Amino acid sequence: MKLQQLKYLLAIVDNGLNITAAADRLYTSQPGVSKQLKLLEEELGLQLFTRKGKSLHHVTRAGEQVLKRARMIMSEVDEIRCLAADFYQEEEGTLTVAATNTQARYVLPNIIRELRTLYPNVSLNLHQGTSEQIADLITRDQVDFAIASGGDELFGDLLRLPGYHWDRTVLVPNDHDLTKLNREVTLYDLAQ
């Protein structure tokens, strides 16, 4: 068993059992991820996922247990890397971030590019998921920080630091009825 196989396993689950998405996130090929998953299952003698055709359908009961241990192992590996980096250079280490798919796709790419330019020796692990999944990751101390959107109902026990404001704009032709309103447009106005 290799750490890479555990990393691939976690990426598959964190990307909704989508091997192609996991491969993209890991900057590797889909066949390579599939092969490593197959080798891991063969070595363990366990089926970690139920399948429908070539697609992964569900995590098996055995798979859930393996995933739990794999997360703990990879978390410890990250801790060891951070510990080692602290002994050599402050600008080295691993940064583990969770973000919603929208944030990861549209907001973070330029920031990640700049981070890699400024800190080439910092390894970045990005976990994508729903706001609920991200809240769970931060609560279980699986990530250094998270970037999400959502209300207090999701993040009530967590410290929320505002990062930026998203401007939303409604576009209409100049002669549209909404242009006659002398106030902000509401969802009710849009529904009319």
Per-residue pLDDT of 29-77, as tens digits, reads 999 999 999 999 999 999 999 999 889 999 999 999 999 999 999 988 8
**Per-residue pLDDT, 160:** 65
- CATH number (domain holding residue 102): 3.40.190.10
Give the CA count within 13 Å in the CB-facing half-sphere of 83: 6
Higher pLDDT residue, 188 or 25? 25
Q: For residue 107, give the DSSP letter.
A: I
For residues 61 and 32, membership in a common domain is answered with: yes
Higher pLDDT residue, 58 or 141? 58
Residue 149 falls in which region: left (phi positive, over 0), alpha (psi -120 to 50) or beta: beta
Residue 158 lies in a domain: yes
**Per-residue pLDDT, 151:** 61
Domain count of the fold of the chain: 2
Say whether 109 sits in a helix, a strand or coil.
Answer: helix
Q: Read off the pTM.
A: 0.47
The beta strands (E) that lie in 60-92 are given as none
The beta strands (E) that lie in the chain are given as 49-52, 55-59, 93-100, 122-129, 145-147
**Please, which pLDDT band fits residue 89 given cuts at 50, 70 and 90?**
low
**Per-residue pLDDT, 191:** 66
